[in-house]
Amino acid sequence: MPRIITNETYGCPPIRALTFDSLGLIKVTEARGKERGTPTVVNTWGETNASRCVLAASIDDRLSNPLLAVARKDGSVEVLNPCNGDLHFAYSVFGDDGSSPEDDEISGLHLFRKQSDYQAERSCSLLTCTKKGDVSLRSVKFPDAHADSTDDAAPKTWKACGSGELLVGKVDGSENFGLFGGKRVEVNIWDLEQCTKIWSAKSPPKDNLGIFTPTWFTCAAFLSNEDHRKFVTGTKSHQVRLYDVSAQRRPVLSFDFRETAITAISEDPDGHTIYVGNASADLASFDIRTGKLLGSFLGKCSGSIRSVVRHPQQQVIASCGLDRYLRVYDVKTRQLISAVFLKQHLTGLVFDSGFSGEDIAVANTVVEAESEENMTIMEQEDEEEQNEDRLEEAPVKKKKSKKDKRSREEVSGGEEIDEVRSKKTRDHKKKSKKVKHIQEE
Amino acid sequence: MGYKRKRGDGEGEEMEAEDRGRPSFNGTEKRNVILPSMIKNKDKRSKVYAKQKHEKKLEKQKKIKARDAAEKRALELGEEPPQKMIPRTIENTRESDETICRPDDEELFAEIDADEFNPVLRREITPKVLITTCRFNSTRGPAFISELLSVIPNSHYQKRGTYDLKKIVEYATKKDFTSLIVVHTRRREPDALLIIGLPNGPTAHFKLSNLVLRKDIKNHGNPTSHEPELVLNNFTTRLGNRVGRFFQSLFPQEPNFRGRRVVTFHNQRDFIFFRHHRYIFETKESKQSGTKGKESVVGEKVKARLQECGPRFTLKLVTLQHGTFDTKGGEFEWVHKPEMDTSRRRFFL
């Protein structure tokens, strides 16, 4: 018997979510209005290119001058403006030659929220880690119109693991500590200022049959913003583990969740609820103090969940993954609020919490105006730069249209082939006719 | 049941309300309101039921007659005949689905250009298929495999032995195979098909049912070694498109039309029907031409005939996995869950 779930239509609170997909597109989904509405795709940034598949993303959604960092498959890291998608800055992790090694990819990215220097408006610092274990911490200045040298101080780099694959790179709320882990790499915590390892986990003991499950961390999350000592991790062997740095090196608590790898984990601001998504599209919330399942989120989700995010203010979580849908759930009732079809395999998701719903356009312009006021000297130059940006954008659009044409041509080419085929069959018919004639004669 | 009864009651009330003004209708309609299932005496019940059924039949006949007459009259008068009613089926009342591919979708084409099957479908690589079995294999399994070998060109069979599937995947990748098919047998009957795209393509797990082998098909033909033509029907959604392209990537993309071989994957309500045919165009002289001599050529008619050959089976997608076979750590692109079955009219392919 099919179960019939009758959902009351809750409507979606005003949210703004940015999703990243396997073709390198960034899609902006917004639910507007004071009244609860339905989220819709309002913007798509970037060109379709499979080599620019987004691997990791991080957002700094402060009210003035928000930033969004995106790491792509070809090794480039881009810093964008999440309001309008303007590119501030881009660099390649694997040196300037741009060629990325075959088996090395970016696995973690963090955009620091606290500002190290006073020129906060035009710079940011980024932490990236790659699969081979290279962690680099660098602060970048956006190139200005008059001086386009990117004079960033030499990035701090270190190796977070000797062997294995680094899959998780996280930075805690105070942004002093980084957490790394992965395939055959036990979770370890680094002090980001001194670049020293301060703690590393110990793998759990063999079970009663003497079987050792190999270490394979896939995701991690710090439990609260203030505390860097407690964090939860998800493993490939469908285990969720809670570690406490101050207590012991082995997990304080660990429990299983279903039967496939845990792929996404996210914390709630209340400090004890976590949301866990796995590779066979199950999403559930747990109370980490006891390890008890609070309930699962049913939403007809059919593909592996790649990312789960809790909205900082609204009572919603969103998940996205290989089933090409962005799903928004209510936290309290665990009901699906809405699902948006976004066409590609989605790899990541962030919320823009600066979005308030009804006055988006106004807010953005205000922000821009403020920043312009701050930079009294460079105002004109900035404007020029913006103009230039627009100019630069124009040919991109043209390119897109060309691409459109090409794809259409390809389609028509396919039709031509069909025609050729039908011709061939026709020829064949004729031939058979001829044969008949000959026989008759 | 309860629902039905309620509805019937409601109708009855309505009719009563309507018919108060027209007492002539009252008698028959009121009697119809009594449902046979409400009568407790079996003899009486069956009688009433039979009577009702008979009435219904008469009514239907009358309706059909009237319709035919109207059509005939329209034809005679040279008018447009009344529109034919289209029966409602589960397919044409399918729930609207936003994942259905549209021809004007650029992102769809971009993704198609980037997916794992593209090199094969662009004829940059010729497909090479490795067929193997599960650990234990007997009777119908090998027969089915030998027929699969004749259906799929450039396919090779290897004994499974006791190798892990992951090891076999590794081996096949090294030998430049483009896909791997595992025929799973249970109780001497093939019951599942696992198709793995190599080197990094997806893994599709199908349930296999209704297998009829060639020798059990009446008047079957024997396939030739020509490259077959491929017919993929009704793979409309994004998932369907992906599965269809997966099937397509098993076959070489240059059909040899001389061979007149067709392989069909027909999707209907998420079941994929596999058929393998030979066709022939026959020229027949139609008798209606009537005239003698040279003009008889004009009356020639080309008729296509089909002959089924090769196995016949039905597939149903169970899971589609991202990457090659990995049961423990693999990520699923699509799995079926009970919560998705909210309607008979929702289909995924």
Query: Concatenated DSSP letters for B260-306?
Result: -EEEEEEEETTEEEEEEEEEEEEEEE-GGG---GGGGGTTEEEEEEE
- Please indicate, yes or no, whether residues A307 and A412 belong to a single structural domain of this protein: no
- Residue B242 CB partners (closer than 8 Å, separation 6+): B115, B202, B320, B333
* A164 shares a domain with A272: yes
Closest chain B C-alpha to A4 CA, distance in angstroms: 5
Is residue B46 located within the same domain as residue B154? no
Are A369 and A380 members of one domain?
no
pLDDT of residue A47: 86
Mean pLDDT, rounded, for A354-368: 54
**Same-domain check for residues A171 and A106:** yes
So what's the pLDDT on residue B14? Answer: 42
Q: Is residue B29 in some structural domain?
A: yes
Same domain for B145 and B234: yes
What's the ipTM? Answer: 0.76
pLDDT at A119: 55
CA distances for B318 relative to A320, B212, B249, B341, angstroms: 21, 21, 19, 14
Is the per-residue pLDDT at A409 higher than 90?
Answer: no
Residue B189 lies in a domain: yes
To test the contact with chain B by mutation, choose from A239, A343, A415 the residue with the greatest count of B C-beta atoms within 10 A, namely: A343
Is the domain of A63 the same as that of A121? yes
Three-state DSSP state, A288:
coil
Cis amide prior to B252 (ω within 30 degrees): no
pLDDT value, residue A11:
76
Give the pLDDT of residue B132.
94
Domain boundary among A332, A353, A375: A375
Q: Which residues in chain B have Cβ-Cβ distances shorter than 8 Å to A441?
A: none
Instruction: List, for residues B66-96, the tens digit of each pLDDT value.
Output: 999 999 999 898 888 778 889 999 988 988 8
Binning pLDDT at 50, 70 and 90, where does residue B180 land?
very high
Query: Are A281 and B328 an interchain contact pair (Cβ–Cβ within 8 Å)?
Result: no
- A209 & A316 share domain: yes
Report whether pLDDT(B211) > 90.
yes
Q: Are residues A72 and A216 in the same domain?
A: yes
Measured distance CA(B303)–CA(B218) in Å, rounded:
21
- Does the structure show a pLDDT above 80 at A345? yes
Is A213 at the interface with chain B, CB within 8 A? no
The answer, yes or no, to whether residue B20 has pLDDT greater than 80, is no
Contact A301/A311 with Cβ under 8 angstroms?
no
Average pLDDT over residues A370-390: 44
A280 has a chain B CB within 8 A of its CB: yes
Residue of A nearest to B257 (CA): A425
A185-202 in b/e form (b: 16+ CB < 10 A) is: bbbbbbebeeeeeebbbe
What integer pLDDT is reported at residue B2 of this predicted model?
44
Amino acid at A112: F
Q: Tell me: pLDDT of B109 over 60.
A: yes
Question: Mutating which of A407, A408, A423, A435 best tests the B interface, going by the most B Cβ atoms within 10 A?
Answer: A407
Mean pLDDT, to the nearest integer, of B245-262? Answer: 92
Q: Are residues B200 and B66 in the same domain?
A: no
Mean pLDDT of chain B: 85
- CA dist list (Å): A52 to A20, A22, A274, A307, B333: 11, 8, 31, 19, 20
Nearest-Cα distance to chain A for B336, in Å, is 7
Cβ contacts (< 8 Å) between A281 and chain B: which residues? Answer: 332, 335, 337
CA atoms within 13 A on the CB side of A213: 12
Verify that B127 and B30 share a domain, yes or no: no
How far is CA B73 from each of CA B79, B85, B101, rounded to the nearest angstrom? 8, 18, 44
Which are the contacts of A430, defined by CB distance < 8 A and separation ≥ 6? none
Strands (E), A201-238: 217-222, 230-235
Give phi and psi for B319, each to the nearest 5.
Answer: -140, 155
State whether B110 and B72 are in the same domain: no
Instruction: Name which of A261, A303, A433 is nearest B334 (Cβ-Cβ).
Output: A303
Nearest to A23 among B107, B331, B340 (CB): B107
Both B210 and B248 in a single domain? Answer: yes
Amino acid at A225: N
- Percentage with pLDDT > 90 across chain A: 30
- Least Cα distance to B181 among B205, B200, B161 occurs for B205
Number of domains in chain A: 2
pLDDT band at A353 (very low <50, low <70, confident <90, very high): confident
What phi-psi label fits residue A244: left (phi over 0), alpha (psi between -120 and 50 degrees) or beta? beta
Q: Is residue A1 part of a domain?
A: no
Chain B closest-CA separation from residue A145 CA (Å): 34
- Interchain proximity A324–B99, CB inside 8 Å: yes
Q: Is A429 on the interface with B (CB under 8 A)?
A: yes
Contact A304 B103 (CB under 8 A): no
Residues A117 and A53 in one domain: yes
Residue A419 has pLDDT above 80, yes or no: no
Determine the pLDDT at residue A295.
Answer: 92
Q: Tell whether A260 is within 8 A of chain B (Cβ).
A: yes
pLDDT over 70 for what percent of chain A? 71
Inter-chain CB proximity A298 and B339 less than 8 Å: yes
Chain A contact set for B107 (CB, 8 A): 23, 25, 48, 343-344
User: A118 pLDDT band (50/70/90 cuts)?
Assistant: low
Q: Nearest by CB to B110, from A23, A298, A424: name it.
A: A23
Supply B170's token pair. 């590794």
Same domain, B13 and B113: no
Chain B contact for A247, CB < 8 A? no
Q: Say how many CA atoms lie within 13 Å of A95 toward its Cβ.
A: 5
- Range with the poorest average pLDDT among A50-54, B141-145, B297-301: B297-301
Q: Are residues B162 and B48 in the same domain?
A: no
A342 and A382 in a single domain? The answer is: no
Does the residue A118 lie in any domain?
yes
Q: State residue A82's pLDDT score.
A: 87
d(C-alpha A394, C-alpha A381), whole Å:
20
Q: Which residues of B138-174 are buried (b: 16+ CB within 10 A; e: fewer)?
A: eebbeebbebbebbbbebebbebeeeebeebbeebbe
Which one-letter DSSP state was computed for residue A37?
Answer: B
Residues B158 and B274 occupy one common structural domain: yes
Closest-CA residue in chain B for A433?
B283
Q: How confident is the model at residue A101 (pLDDT cuts 50, 70, 90)?
A: low
In sequence order, which residues have a C-beta less than 8 Å from that of residue A248 and are 6 or more positions away?
none
What distance in Å separates residue B217's CA from the closest CA in chain A? 28
Contact A322 B322 (CB under 8 A): yes
- A424 reaches B (C-beta below 8 A): yes
CA-CA distance, A107 to A129, in Å (whole number)?
Answer: 6
Do residue B65 and residue B200 come from a single domain? no
Q: Is A434 on the interface with B (CB under 8 A)?
A: no
A5 belongs to a structural domain: no
| CA–CA distance, B140 with B142 (Å, rounded to integer) | 6
- Asked, for residue B53, whether it belongs to a domain, the answer is yes
**pLDDT tens for each residue of B110-122:** 888 888 899 999 9
Convert the pLDDT of each residue in A151-197 to its tens digit. 556 788 888 888 888 999 999 888 889 999 999 899 999 998 888 89
CATH for B185: 3.40.50.10480
The pLDDT assigned to A393 comes to: 44
pLDDT score at A112: 87
- The total domain count for chain B is 2
**Using DSSP, how many helices (H) and how many strands (E) does chain A show?**
2, 28
* pLDDT score of A407 more than 70: no
Residue of A26, A40, A280 best to disrupt the B interface, most CBs of B under 10 A: A280
A191 pairs with which residues across the strands? A177, A196
Residue A389 belongs to domain spanning: 376-441
Q: Are residues B26 and B130 in the same domain?
A: no
- Residue B162 lies in domain: 106-287+297-340
**pLDDT tens sequence across A10-37:** 678 888 899 998 998 999 998 876 666 7
Domain limit, last residue, from A317, A341, A375: A375
pLDDT grade for B297, boundaries at 50, 70 and 90: low
Domain presence at residue B158: yes
Q: What is the pLDDT of residue A380?
A: 45
Residue A395 has pLDDT above 60, yes or no: no
Binning pLDDT at 50, 70 and 90, where does residue B62 land? very high
What percent of chain B has a predicted confidence (pLDDT) above 90? 54
- Cα separation, A76 vs A97, in Å, equals 11
